[in-house]
Amino acid sequence: MPDAVLEVTVLQRSFGGVRAVDDVSFSLPAGGSLGIVGESGSGKTTTARIIVGLERADAGRVLLQGRDRTEHARGRAGRLARARQIQMVFQDPYLSLDPRTSVEAALREALRLHFPGADHGRRIAELLDQVGLGTRAASALPRQLSGGQRQRVAIARALALEPAVMVLDEAVAALDVSVQAQVLNLLADIREQTGIGYLFITHDLGVVRCVTDDVIVMRRGRIVESGPTAQVLAAPEHPYTRLLLDSVPRPGWDPRRIAAARRALP
């Protein structure tokens, strides 16, 4: 796939003899949005951590913008180069932000490392505006911000490096539904403005439906179904995908029936 910004080929990772990631392959086109969905233990987060370099792969290959990034980056220059290509936004922004560091200082540190000669003040103002915070938030500490605001800071810090890919690991799962919608709309706007590619790691099919072009469904470390999001969610072929859709609570929803269906899966 010549225009792929991210290519993952037969990725494997085991823990204690259990294959957490089992021959996973997919591509993300430049500016695309791909969801990886599955329940806890499906292997989706381990896959993401390998892609960004937080876990080692036992086998397989990760290409970012055509460069092999399968191995851990060696040395400061290698780590900085990888960070410029791909950034990760985690579920809990309070844990990923230094509680003693203001918003401005956090952004300035990221810029200092990667763009030492740039006008950091002007860029910080641009980033804060881009994520809908404004310069009034610059002096705030994380504890002085709401959960949605903290996640916007985490997104701004990732965007500061101008990466080609942003990995969002359950990035709206801890937010109220109304705040989730605001952050997802923000992310859609940013993708349209910048052409960044998104990799969404989530258990929430509503998130996948809203913000992804394509989706991968993982179970027990393997991809069981993939394709255009609208097509997969409208007419799922694998029983596990159908189970995930049936697990979304709605009027008449019976958790006992869902539990029985889960037990019946091979």
Write out pLDDT tens, residues 180-234. 899 999 999 999 999 999 999 998 888 899 899 999 999 999 999 999 999 999 9
pLDDT in tens, 135-154: 889 999 999 999 899 999 99
Split at pLDDT 50, 70, 90, the class of 81 is confident
Split at pLDDT 50, 70, 90, the class of 176 is confident
- Distance, CA of 53 to CA of 48 (rounded, Å): 9
Does the pTM of the predicted model rise above 0.85? Answer: yes
pLDDT of residue 112 exceeding 50: yes
pLDDT of residue 85 exceeding 80: yes
CATH code, residues 4-235: 3.40.50.300
pLDDT of residue 59 exceeding 90: yes
- Pairing outcome for strands 165-169 and 197-202: parallel
Token digits of residue 194: 């910048």
Angle between helices 147-159 and 177-194 (to 10 degrees): 20
Tell me what pLDDT residue 84 has: 86
Tell me what pLDDT residue 1 has: 43
Place of tokens 């960044």: 196
Question: Averaged over 13-25, what is the pLDDT?
Answer: 95
| Every domain of the chain and the residues it spans | 4-235
Question: Averaged over 75-96, what is the pLDDT?
Answer: 82
pLDDT in tens, 236-264: 999 999 888 887 766 566 666 666 666 77
Tell me what pLDDT residue 174 has: 79
Return the closest-CA partner of residue 174 out of 149, 200, 145, 148: 148
High-pLDDT (> 90) share of the chain, %: 64
Split at pLDDT 50, 70, 90, the class of 2 is very low
Q: Which long-range contacts (CB under 8 A, 24 or more apart) does 106-114 make?
A: 106/153, 106/157, 107/153, 107/156, 107/157, 107/160, 110/157, 110/160, 110/161, 111/160, 113/80, 114/80, 114/83, 114/84, 114/160, 114/161
Reading phi first (left if > 0) and then psi (alpha if -120 to 50, else beta), residue 40 is in beta
